[in-house]
Every structure is written in C-alpha cells, then in structure tokens.
A = this chain, B = another copy of it.
Amino acid sequence: MSTSSNLINKAVEQLSKFPGIGQKSALRMALYLLKKSESETVELSQALINLRTEIKFCQQCFNLSDGELCNVCASPSKDATLVCVVKDFQDVIAIENTGQYNGHFHVLGGLISPVDGIGPSDIKIPELLNRVSKGEITEAILALSSTLEGDTTEFYIAKKLREMNIKVSTLSKGIAVGGELEYADEMTLARSIRNRTSLGS
C-alpha cells in the first residue's frame, strides 16, 4: 500500500517493521500522530530514543536496567537470599506481575541449545555460579520454559547448584488454572497426575 505522500509512506514503512504491525495498522498509527499535537510526537520519539540509548544491563542479574543495578537488585525490600533464574526480561515482568515473588532474579539471556551451538558459557550461567559462590544466596528457583532447551538448561544448572549446597527448585508443571481438562495435552496431564497435590487424608 502506498499513499500520495512520501512522508506518510516513510512513516508507515518504519512503523510496519514492528512485530505484529501490518501496513494498515501502521497507516492508522501515522494518521493518529497527525491528529495530535507536534509535542506529542516529539515526546514519543524522545521516549523511544532514550530507551534505546540509555538502557543498560543490570551488573548483578543482567535484567534490563536504567542504572548500574536494576530496580529489583537495588531494592532493600527484596529477599537477596532467593534467586529466580529466568531466560529473559519478559519472564522477569511476568513473575514480578504475579505479586507472589519477592526475591532477586538472574537473567540468562538464552537457553542451552546444542543444535544452535549455544553452550553453558554462552549464556549467563558462569555469572550465576559466581554469584551463588559468594554465599548470600541460599535458594534458587529455576523458572524456565518446559521445552527441550529449557529442560536441558535446568538439568545443567540444577546439577551445578546442588554441588554448591543450596536449595534448588523448579516451577510446578500441571494443568493451567482455569483450564479445561479435555484440552490439556497428554504429557502435561500425565505429569500433573504423577505430581498430584495432596488434599489431606
């Protein structure tokens, strides 16, 4: 789709690079900007440039961060003896938003995947082991996807951490809360029967 204005075409081309944004959505977004004041477009553009140029990785947990330490690592109210190991930044957001976890994180930035040539030292596993070796952390929760790569990474890290004598756990697997039993896949259902939760006798 091209319009009679090169300025609009250029903006549409740029906006439609975003994931999930097609040409029609991009055009709607461009026309939206034209209905708003100039300062709003400047504000938007500035927020994007600031994000891209100023964001850092937390030096402790490799979470995306505004400063040297991310807000989680810098917060005195978080439990520094507990670390939750995740694949990436989105997982931190998801777990933080549950409101059920009050410890620190460690963002691996990927998962072990021999097929893709990604080994333990290509992701932040050495940094995790180094962090644990300092002695403050007493428990690690491995919150990785239940995929081949996730399981491989979990197996590797769990083995290393148990050698360092800290408590290691993983997320419970089972049917989704609110999920219909008939739609659960067989592997999940089998696992949720095997790991059934006692309701008392």
Contact = CB atoms under 8 A, between A and B. Distances in A.
Interface of A: 1, 3-8, 10-11, 13-15, 17-21, 25, 27-34, 38, 40-55, 63-66, 70-72, 89-90, 92-93, 96-97
B54 A7 contact: yes
A14 B43 contact: yes
B49 A41 contact: yes
B1 A90 contact: no
Main secondary structure on A side of the interface with B: helix
Contacts of A96: 3-4
Given A5-B64, A5-B66, A10 B93 contact: no
Nearest to A97: B1
A95 to B, nearest CB: 11
A33 B8 contact: no
Contacts of A51: 7-8, 10-11, 30, 33-34, 41
A66 B31 contact: no
Contacts of A17: 40, 44
B32 A48 contact: no
A46 B63 CA distance: 29
A4 B93 CA distance: 8
